[in-house]
Amino acid sequence: MRRVADRLNNAHRPTFSVEFFPPRDEADEAVLWRAIRELEPLDPAYMSITYGAGGSSRDGTIRNIARVATDTTLVPMAHLTAVNHSVAELRNVIGHFAAVGVHNILALRGDPPGDPMGEWVPHPQGLHYAEELVRLIRELGDFCVGVSAFPYGHPRSADLDTDTHYLVRKLRAGADFAIAQLFFEAKDFLRLRDRVAAAGCDALMLPGIMPLTTPRTLRKTIELSGATPPAWLVDRLAPLEDDPKAFRAEGLDVVTELCSRLLAEGVPELHFYTFNRSKATRELVERLGLRSPAPPLALT
Protein backbone atom coordinates (compact mmCIF):
# COMPACT_ATOMS: atom_id res chain seq x y z
CA MET A 1 0.00 0.00 0.00
CA ARG A 2 1.57 3.27 -1.14
CA ARG A 3 -1.27 5.64 -0.22
CA VAL A 4 -1.24 7.23 3.25
CA ALA A 5 -4.99 6.83 3.77
CA ASP A 6 -4.84 3.14 2.86
CA ARG A 7 -1.99 2.50 5.26
CA LEU A 8 -3.77 4.26 8.11
CA ASN A 9 -7.19 2.74 7.46
CA ASN A 10 -5.72 -0.76 7.31
CA ALA A 11 -3.39 -0.47 10.28
CA HIS A 12 -4.10 -2.96 13.05
CA ARG A 13 -2.56 -0.76 15.72
CA PRO A 14 -1.63 2.91 16.18
CA THR A 15 1.33 4.00 14.09
CA PHE A 16 3.48 7.07 13.46
CA SER A 17 4.93 9.18 10.66
CA VAL A 18 7.93 11.48 10.38
CA GLU A 19 8.56 14.86 8.78
CA PHE A 20 11.84 16.29 7.54
CA PHE A 21 12.86 19.60 5.96
CA PRO A 22 14.87 19.97 2.73
CA PRO A 23 18.67 20.15 3.10
CA ARG A 24 20.48 23.41 2.40
CA ASP A 25 23.74 21.83 1.24
CA GLU A 26 25.54 18.50 0.85
CA ALA A 27 26.36 18.27 4.56
CA ASP A 28 22.70 18.81 5.46
CA GLU A 29 21.70 16.20 2.90
CA ALA A 30 23.99 13.64 4.54
CA VAL A 31 22.38 14.38 7.92
CA LEU A 32 18.90 14.05 6.41
CA TRP A 33 19.66 10.69 4.84
CA ARG A 34 21.27 9.33 7.98
CA ALA A 35 18.03 10.09 9.85
CA ILE A 36 15.91 8.59 7.07
CA ARG A 37 17.92 5.37 7.09
CA GLU A 38 17.80 5.14 10.90
CA LEU A 39 14.00 5.49 10.93
CA GLU A 40 13.29 3.30 7.89
CA PRO A 41 13.48 -0.03 9.82
CA LEU A 42 10.72 1.19 12.17
CA ASP A 43 8.29 1.25 9.22
CA PRO A 44 6.51 4.56 9.76
CA ALA A 45 3.14 4.87 8.04
CA TYR A 46 4.69 7.54 5.81
CA MET A 47 7.40 10.20 5.74
CA SER A 48 7.30 13.72 4.36
CA ILE A 49 9.66 16.53 3.40
CA THR A 50 8.52 20.14 3.69
CA TYR A 51 8.41 22.47 0.69
CA GLY A 52 10.25 25.78 0.85
CA ALA A 53 9.22 28.92 -0.96
CA GLY A 54 12.71 29.43 -2.39
CA GLY A 55 14.16 27.73 -5.43
CA SER A 56 16.97 25.73 -3.78
CA SER A 57 14.77 24.54 -0.93
CA ARG A 58 12.02 23.59 -3.35
CA ASP A 59 14.44 21.67 -5.57
CA GLY A 60 15.78 19.86 -2.51
CA THR A 61 12.31 18.70 -1.59
CA ILE A 62 11.55 17.40 -5.08
CA ARG A 63 14.92 15.66 -5.46
CA ASN A 64 14.92 13.99 -2.06
CA ILE A 65 11.27 12.90 -2.02
CA ALA A 66 11.89 11.29 -5.42
CA ARG A 67 14.90 9.47 -3.98
CA VAL A 68 12.79 8.22 -1.07
CA ALA A 69 10.27 6.83 -3.55
CA THR A 70 12.88 4.99 -5.60
CA ASP A 71 15.61 4.06 -3.09
CA THR A 72 13.79 3.16 0.16
CA THR A 73 10.92 1.04 1.46
CA LEU A 74 9.24 4.14 2.93
CA VAL A 75 5.93 5.62 1.77
CA PRO A 76 6.72 9.22 0.76
CA MET A 77 4.43 12.23 1.01
CA ALA A 78 5.47 15.41 -0.78
CA HIS A 79 4.56 18.84 0.57
CA LEU A 80 3.39 21.32 -2.06
CA THR A 81 2.53 25.01 -1.68
CA ALA A 82 1.02 27.58 -4.02
CA VAL A 83 3.68 30.17 -3.12
CA ASN A 84 5.31 31.75 -6.19
CA HIS A 85 3.85 29.12 -8.53
CA SER A 86 1.64 29.50 -11.57
CA VAL A 87 -0.94 26.78 -12.16
CA ALA A 88 1.20 25.54 -15.06
CA GLU A 89 4.21 25.18 -12.73
CA LEU A 90 2.10 23.38 -10.13
CA ARG A 91 0.88 20.97 -12.79
CA ASN A 92 4.48 20.27 -13.76
CA VAL A 93 5.57 19.54 -10.17
CA ILE A 94 2.54 17.31 -9.54
CA GLY A 95 3.26 15.43 -12.75
CA HIS A 96 6.87 14.92 -11.66
CA PHE A 97 5.74 13.48 -8.33
CA ALA A 98 3.51 11.02 -10.13
CA ALA A 99 6.29 10.03 -12.52
CA VAL A 100 8.69 9.08 -9.70
CA GLY A 101 6.07 7.15 -7.73
CA VAL A 102 4.98 9.70 -5.13
CA HIS A 103 1.24 9.13 -4.61
CA ASN A 104 0.69 11.35 -1.54
CA ILE A 105 0.74 15.16 -1.41
CA LEU A 106 0.18 17.56 1.49
CA ALA A 107 -1.55 20.55 -0.13
CA LEU A 108 -0.73 23.90 1.51
CA ARG A 109 -1.36 27.44 0.44
CA GLY A 110 1.93 28.37 2.11
CA ASP A 111 3.14 31.49 3.91
CA PRO A 112 4.58 34.63 2.30
CA PRO A 113 8.35 34.17 1.88
CA GLY A 114 10.39 35.83 4.62
CA ASP A 115 7.44 36.83 6.80
CA PRO A 116 4.82 34.17 7.63
CA MET A 117 2.45 36.87 8.87
CA GLY A 118 3.04 39.20 5.92
CA GLU A 119 0.49 40.01 3.25
CA TRP A 120 -0.41 37.05 1.04
CA VAL A 121 0.13 37.94 -2.61
CA PRO A 122 -0.85 35.13 -5.01
CA HIS A 123 1.04 34.46 -8.21
CA PRO A 124 -0.73 36.28 -11.08
CA GLN A 125 -1.39 32.93 -12.78
CA GLY A 126 -1.57 30.95 -9.55
CA LEU A 127 -3.98 29.88 -6.84
CA HIS A 128 -5.38 31.74 -3.84
CA TYR A 129 -6.35 28.93 -1.47
CA ALA A 130 -5.28 25.44 -0.38
CA GLU A 131 -8.78 24.27 -1.30
CA GLU A 132 -8.02 25.09 -4.95
CA LEU A 133 -4.72 23.20 -4.75
CA VAL A 134 -6.51 20.13 -3.38
CA ARG A 135 -8.86 20.18 -6.37
CA LEU A 136 -5.99 20.63 -8.84
CA ILE A 137 -4.10 17.65 -7.41
CA ARG A 138 -7.24 15.52 -7.55
CA GLU A 139 -7.79 16.48 -11.19
CA LEU A 140 -4.30 15.38 -12.18
CA GLY A 141 -4.16 11.84 -10.82
CA ASP A 142 -5.08 9.27 -8.24
CA PHE A 143 -3.32 10.99 -5.34
CA CYS A 144 -3.96 10.73 -1.63
CA VAL A 145 -4.17 14.34 -0.43
CA GLY A 146 -3.64 15.84 2.99
CA VAL A 147 -4.13 19.37 4.33
CA SER A 148 -3.11 21.30 7.43
CA ALA A 149 -5.27 22.04 10.48
CA PHE A 150 -4.80 24.42 13.40
CA PRO A 151 -5.94 23.43 16.91
CA TYR A 152 -5.99 27.08 18.01
CA GLY A 153 -7.23 28.38 14.66
CA HIS A 154 -5.20 29.75 11.76
CA PRO A 155 -3.64 33.12 12.69
CA ARG A 156 -5.70 34.79 9.96
CA SER A 157 -9.01 33.21 10.98
CA ALA A 158 -11.52 35.44 12.75
CA ASP A 159 -12.54 32.69 15.21
CA LEU A 160 -12.61 28.92 15.64
CA ASP A 161 -15.97 28.53 13.90
CA THR A 162 -14.65 30.31 10.81
CA ASP A 163 -11.45 28.30 10.93
CA THR A 164 -13.39 25.03 11.16
CA HIS A 165 -15.58 26.07 8.22
CA TYR A 166 -12.56 26.53 5.95
CA LEU A 167 -10.85 23.37 7.17
CA VAL A 168 -13.95 21.34 6.34
CA ARG A 169 -14.08 22.98 2.90
CA LYS A 170 -10.52 21.83 2.24
CA LEU A 171 -11.39 18.31 3.32
CA ARG A 172 -14.55 18.19 1.23
CA ALA A 173 -12.64 19.48 -1.80
CA GLY A 174 -10.97 16.08 -1.90
CA ALA A 175 -8.51 15.77 1.00
CA ASP A 176 -8.27 12.42 2.77
CA PHE A 177 -6.82 13.66 6.05
CA ALA A 178 -5.54 16.69 7.94
CA ILE A 179 -2.37 17.05 10.02
CA ALA A 180 -2.78 19.37 12.98
CA GLN A 181 -0.19 22.02 13.69
CA LEU A 182 1.54 21.89 17.08
CA PHE A 183 -0.36 22.14 20.36
CA PHE A 184 0.41 21.76 24.06
CA GLU A 185 -2.29 19.54 25.54
CA ALA A 186 -4.23 16.56 24.22
CA LYS A 187 -7.54 18.35 24.82
CA ASP A 188 -6.52 21.06 22.32
CA PHE A 189 -6.28 18.49 19.52
CA LEU A 190 -9.34 16.53 20.67
CA ARG A 191 -11.47 19.69 20.59
CA LEU A 192 -10.33 20.31 17.01
CA ARG A 193 -11.30 16.74 16.12
CA ASP A 194 -14.69 17.25 17.77
CA ARG A 195 -15.32 20.50 15.87
CA VAL A 196 -14.67 18.80 12.54
CA ALA A 197 -16.88 15.84 13.46
CA ALA A 198 -19.66 18.20 14.59
CA ALA A 199 -19.53 19.80 11.13
CA GLY A 200 -20.40 16.42 9.63
CA CYS A 201 -16.93 15.59 8.34
CA ASP A 202 -15.35 12.21 9.11
CA ALA A 203 -11.92 12.73 7.54
CA LEU A 204 -8.88 11.49 9.46
CA MET A 205 -7.43 14.05 11.86
CA LEU A 206 -3.78 13.48 12.78
CA PRO A 207 -1.80 15.30 15.51
CA GLY A 208 1.56 16.93 14.86
CA ILE A 209 4.09 16.26 17.64
CA MET A 210 7.41 17.99 18.36
CA PRO A 211 9.83 16.09 20.64
CA LEU A 212 10.80 18.63 23.32
CA THR A 213 14.52 17.98 23.62
CA THR A 214 15.94 21.52 23.91
CA PRO A 215 14.75 25.02 24.79
CA ARG A 216 14.89 25.71 21.03
CA THR A 217 12.30 23.02 20.30
CA LEU A 218 10.04 24.47 23.00
CA ARG A 219 10.35 27.94 21.48
CA LYS A 220 9.61 26.48 18.03
CA THR A 221 6.50 24.76 19.38
CA ILE A 222 5.28 28.06 20.83
CA GLU A 223 5.99 29.85 17.54
CA LEU A 224 4.29 27.28 15.31
CA SER A 225 1.29 26.77 17.57
CA GLY A 226 0.62 30.50 17.81
CA ALA A 227 -0.53 29.98 21.40
CA THR A 228 0.71 30.68 24.91
CA PRO A 229 2.06 27.56 26.64
CA PRO A 230 0.17 26.46 29.77
CA ALA A 231 1.69 27.37 33.13
CA TRP A 232 2.26 23.74 34.09
CA LEU A 233 4.49 23.21 31.04
CA VAL A 234 6.57 26.30 31.74
CA ASP A 235 6.87 25.28 35.40
CA ARG A 236 8.21 21.86 34.40
CA LEU A 237 10.68 22.93 31.72
CA ALA A 238 11.79 26.52 32.36
CA PRO A 239 13.88 25.68 35.48
CA LEU A 240 15.86 23.14 33.43
CA GLU A 241 16.93 25.37 30.54
CA ASP A 242 20.55 25.47 31.74
CA ASP A 243 20.73 21.71 32.20
CA PRO A 244 20.51 20.11 28.72
CA LYS A 245 20.35 16.55 29.96
CA ALA A 246 17.61 17.23 32.51
CA PHE A 247 15.64 19.37 30.02
CA ARG A 248 15.73 16.61 27.43
CA ALA A 249 14.62 13.95 29.90
CA GLU A 250 11.73 16.03 31.23
CA GLY A 251 10.75 17.21 27.76
CA LEU A 252 10.48 13.66 26.44
CA ASP A 253 8.45 12.70 29.52
CA VAL A 254 6.04 15.55 28.72
CA VAL A 255 5.69 14.44 25.11
CA THR A 256 5.27 10.79 26.11
CA GLU A 257 2.40 11.77 28.43
CA LEU A 258 0.80 13.84 25.65
CA CYS A 259 1.07 11.01 23.11
CA SER A 260 -0.21 8.40 25.56
CA ARG A 261 -3.34 10.48 26.18
CA LEU A 262 -3.92 10.90 22.44
CA LEU A 263 -3.56 7.18 21.81
CA ALA A 264 -5.96 6.43 24.68
CA GLU A 265 -8.49 8.70 22.92
CA GLY A 266 -8.33 6.61 19.75
CA VAL A 267 -5.90 8.69 17.69
CA PRO A 268 -4.63 6.29 15.00
CA GLU A 269 -1.33 7.97 14.16
CA LEU A 270 1.21 10.46 15.54
CA HIS A 271 3.09 12.75 13.13
CA PHE A 272 6.57 13.59 14.48
CA TYR A 273 8.55 16.66 13.43
CA THR A 274 12.14 15.40 13.47
CA PHE A 275 14.40 18.41 12.81
CA ASN A 276 16.18 15.91 10.52
CA ARG A 277 17.35 13.85 13.48
CA SER A 278 16.10 10.41 14.47
CA LYS A 279 17.13 9.74 18.08
CA ALA A 280 14.28 11.43 19.97
CA THR A 281 11.64 10.05 17.60
CA ARG A 282 13.05 6.54 17.93
CA GLU A 283 12.94 6.85 21.72
CA LEU A 284 9.32 8.00 21.68
CA VAL A 285 8.29 5.25 19.25
CA GLU A 286 9.87 2.70 21.59
CA ARG A 287 8.26 4.18 24.71
CA LEU A 288 4.83 4.25 23.13
CA GLY A 289 5.05 0.77 21.61
CA LEU A 290 4.43 2.09 18.09
CA ARG A 291 7.03 -0.03 16.36
CA SER A 292 5.45 -2.93 14.49
CA PRO A 293 6.52 -6.26 15.99
CA ALA A 294 8.96 -8.26 13.90
CA PRO A 295 7.33 -11.13 11.96
CA PRO A 296 7.90 -14.58 13.46
CA LEU A 297 10.81 -16.55 12.10
CA ALA A 298 9.82 -19.24 9.63
CA LEU A 299 10.38 -22.79 10.90
CA THR A 300 12.61 -24.99 8.78
Active site residues: 19
229: CB partners within 8 A, 6+ apart? 184, 218, 221, 222
Longest Cα–Cα distance in the chain: 66
- For the chain, the 3-state helix, strand and coil shares in percent, each to the nearest 5, are 45, 15, 40
- Rounded CA-CA distance 21/91 in Å is 22
- The span from the CA of 94 to the CA of 96, in Å, is 5
Decide: 50 and 23 in contact? Cβ < 8 Å: no
Best CA proximity match to 60, nearest among 48, 71, 52: 52
Q: Would you state the torsion angle of the CA atoms of residues 272, 55, 79, 252, taken in this order, to the nearest 10 degrees?
A: 10
Burial of 76 from C-beta contacts in 10 A (0-12 / 13-18 / 19+): buried
38 phi/psi in degrees, rounded to 5: -70, -30
Spatial CB neighbours of 23, under 8 Å, sequence gap ≥ 6: 29, 31, 32, 60, 64, 276
3-state secondary structure 154-205: CCCCCCHHHHHHHHHHHHHCCCCEEEECCCCCHHHHHHHHHHHHHCCCCCEE
